Structure 1
Amino acid sequence: MKTRLLTASDIKKIINMPNTLAAVETAFREYGFGKVVMPPKLYLDLKHYGGDFRAMPAYVEKSAGLKWVSVYPGNPGKGLPTVLAMLVLNDPETGFPLAIMDATQITGYRTGAAGGVAANYLARKDSTALGLIGAGAQAKTQLLALLNYFEFEKIYMWSLREEDIERFQADFEDLPIESASIETAAGCDIVCTTTPSREFIVKREWVKEGAHINAIGADAAGKQELDPRILADAKVVVDDITQAKHSGEINVAIKRESFAEVDIYATLGEIVTGAKRGRIGNEITVFDSTGLAIQDIATARMLLDKAKAEGIGHDFDVIG
């Protein structure tokens, strides 16, 4: 048997948001039905180097694998992405490595897709104003995903650096993206927060009734973007309870006892399977996204199948 190598350029040829959305929604559905195996994410914290590594193993839909991903916020100043990742996909029946692939783009797309799936179930269907808080790679994939479900008349973006917004606008020149204050961006129908903040930057009084928030930036202990009062007033849906308590948007609020596990309404898997209802009326909803290994493995399986069908990648002997 051969192992297929898929480089970053290979992944770029075959990855797209509609296919990723389908793979990620399936992964959450399998999670909701209890058909996945996913140990807790393991962190290797290297504070003296300014970053950390995460080991993310999972089994979903007859595929097993491991993503090894690093997060180094200072990397852009060195000409490197903040997030770098590799993924090994295995045959669960034999353990044979089916593929080794770049997972940096997978990480971005599957995170965007989770936000898109969540908003499809939790946001108002008539949402026409989008607020993007943060102007990095995650903001791009959040936007790409949401455009599959909503037609936005206004898109407001806030970032600490105006030049980042200008670059973002250039990448989406056909969309009505306006630089705005954080208050304006936070006051939209759908709000996506994608910053590395360690103190809340979105105040409760800025968020209107009926809004949906994708809280994406908090992915490690100590990170937070939302005023705890937002969590207290909202229907909070998480991707995984254990991960969210440790490293999601709710982690700081739980440590400070302004939010508790019993206050979590549901996991996204429960929403997708219909075990619990999504939006009800004009409530505020929050999706706390920490990023699950099942999203990566489901997306990787889809990409491997597509690569084989299109003759993309290189097969080689890695074992034996």
Structure 2
Amino acid sequence: MTQYIDVQDVAEIVQREGLPQMIAAMASYIESDYRDWKSFDKSARVASHSTVGVIELMPTANEALYAFKYVNGHPQNTFSALPTVMAFGVLADVGTGFPLLLSEMTLLTAIRTAAMSALAASRLARKSSRSMAMIGNGSQSEFQAIAFHSMLGIREIRLYDTDIEASQKLKRNLAAFPGLEVTISQTAEHAVRGADIVTTVTADKTNATILRPEMVEPGMHVNAVGGDCPGKTELHPEVLSLARVVVEYEPQTRIEGDIQQMPADFPVTEFHQIVSGAQPGRTSEQEVTVFDSVGFALEDFSALRYLRDLGQRHGVGHELNLVPTLHDPKDLYALVRPGSSQSGVIDKGSKVQAKAALA
């Protein structure tokens, strides 16, 4: 049987584990998989664009497991009481193709994106970083703030969003973290001034210039999360020219990231090169660094792998009869044979044996 973990299941796991602890543990799973970079199938995600948004499939696999995520991005969804981003994912056994896990990934993606951002910043930001500006205060902003507070020791966050209610919402939610000072800025310029780290996580599908070169200071690390599809950027091109730019998977980021604005030979470093030691992390206190993050399938693979482990540990989730399990695997017709009463389905004991064989 396929393990099924829904939204409430993930929320329950977060309550049991604690969100900061989950973010740190997921970052560890992601880092482990980046160390194993060469063993993964890699491709840019498959995207279906429309005038109002995008729907994407994000697949990857190693020798043992296959994973994919279905995810959308529709900035106007909030006017229809729907999330801007919605997602689900599958983890399957490569040896048989059997789907081991079907899971919600809207909440899980917010957690894995925050984990990836903090993981990259742990290599690229100054170790002394204690302040961050957060430009864009929507549904992923709490996760980003908590990740940087818990993993990097950020103590001060200045918020800016064109929607003041979004900033007020974020400030209320972060009040549960007494070691974190949160203020709302009236302009992006004010929020960014003097910040060690700048996180941009806006939703509009447009070539925006959230961060301009005059706003960048020596030693700053930019965590650019919101530019994640063709025609959607957040950084002025000169900001990229000033910085050392790190990406997840270069062929995908050239299409979807902020570097889509740059020449094809614009130099970038893939994150796995830093994890493996082939390239250094931050090279000086004065270096400006940019993590041009668009989200990569390997990170979803890590998230699903981690969630499967957590679901089994906590006994959370449900068994789902997603694919038939038959007495005779060549006799699918047995399920619909007149008068069969589904006699072709194997009994529960045999299902347990089949499940154990795939574990």
* TM-score bin, normalised by smaller chain: over 0.9
Q: Which has the larger radius of gyration?
A: 2
Matched, 1:199 2:208: yes
Gaps of 5+ in 1: none
Decide whether the 8 Å contact of 1:60 with 1:298 is kept in 2.
Answer: no
Question: Of residues 72, 75, 79 in structure 2, which corresponds to 1:73?
Answer: 75
Question: Of residues 292, 296, 302 in structure 2, which corresponds to 1:298?
Answer: 302
Distance apart, 1:138 and its partner CA? 2.2
SS in 2 for 1:105: helix
1:17-96 correspondence to structure 2 within 5 Å: 17-31=23-37, 34-47=38-51, 50-60=52-62, 62-96=64-98
Instruction: Quote the residue 1:168 is aligned against.
Output: 170
Instruction: Quote the residue 1:309 is aligned against.
Output: 313
1:76-155 correspondence to structure 2 within 5 Å: 76-155=78-157
Query: What do residues 7-59 of structure 1 show as CA deviations (whole Å, max 9, x unaligned)?
Result: 0111122242122211222222222xx12112220001122xx2210011111
Which one-letter code corresponds to 1:21 in the other structure? Answer: A
SS in 2 for 1:148: helix
Instruction: Quote the residue 2:248 is aligned against.
Output: 239
Query: What do residues 256-294 of structure 1 show as CA deviations (whole Å, max 9, x unaligned)?
Result: x4xx43421x11111111110010111000000010111
Q: What is the aligned residue count?
A: 309
Instruction: Quote the residue 1:184 is aligned against.
Output: 190
Scaled by the length of structure 1, what TM-score is found? 0.93
Gaps of 5+ in 2: 15-21, 325-359
Structure 1 residue runs of 4+, over 4 Å off?
none
Distance of aligned partners of 1:217 and 1:157 in 2 relative to their CA distance in 1, 3 Å threshold: same
In 1: Cα distance, 2:255 partner to 2:154 partner: 34
Which one-letter code corresponds to 1:272 in the other structure? Answer: V
Decide whether the 8 Å contact of 2:200 with 2:210 is kept in 1.
Answer: no
SS in 1 for 2:58: strand
Instruction: Quote the residue 2:283 is aligned against.
Output: 280
Decide whether the 8 Å contact of 1:234 with 1:284 is kept in 2.
Answer: yes
In 2: Cα distance, 1:39 partner to 1:225 partner: 24
Question: Of residues 258, 262, 265 in structure 2, which corresponds to 1:261?
Answer: 265
Distance apart, 1:99 and its partner CA? 1.1
SS in 1 for 2:246: strand
In 2: Cα distance, 1:109 partner to 1:250 partner: 24
Scaled by the length of structure 2, what TM-score is found? 0.83
Decide whether the 8 Å contact of 2:229 with 2:256 is kept in 1.
Answer: yes
Greater mean deviation of Cα atoms: 114-123 or 16-25: 16-25
Which one-letter code corresponds to 2:10 in the other structure? Answer: I
In 1: Cα distance, 2:112 partner to 2:198 partner: 18
The structure with more strand, counted as a fraction of residues: 1
In 2: Cα distance, 1:101 partner to 1:274 partner: 34
Decide whether the 8 Å contact of 1:58 with 1:66 is kept in 2.
Answer: yes
In 2: Cα distance, 1:40 partner to 1:27 partner: 17
Decide whether the 8 Å contact of 1:139 with 1:192 is kept in 2.
Answer: no
In 2: Cα distance, 1:152 partner to 1:303 partner: 27
Greater mean deviation of Cα atoms: 114-123 or 305-314: 305-314
- Structure having greater relative contact order (Cα 8 Å, sep ≥ 6): 1
Identity %: 32
SS in 1 for 2:102: strand
Decide whether the 8 Å contact of 1:60 with 1:294 is kept in 2.
Answer: no
Which one-letter code corresponds to 1:176 in the other structure? Answer: E
Which one-letter code corresponds to 2:197 in the other structure? Answer: I
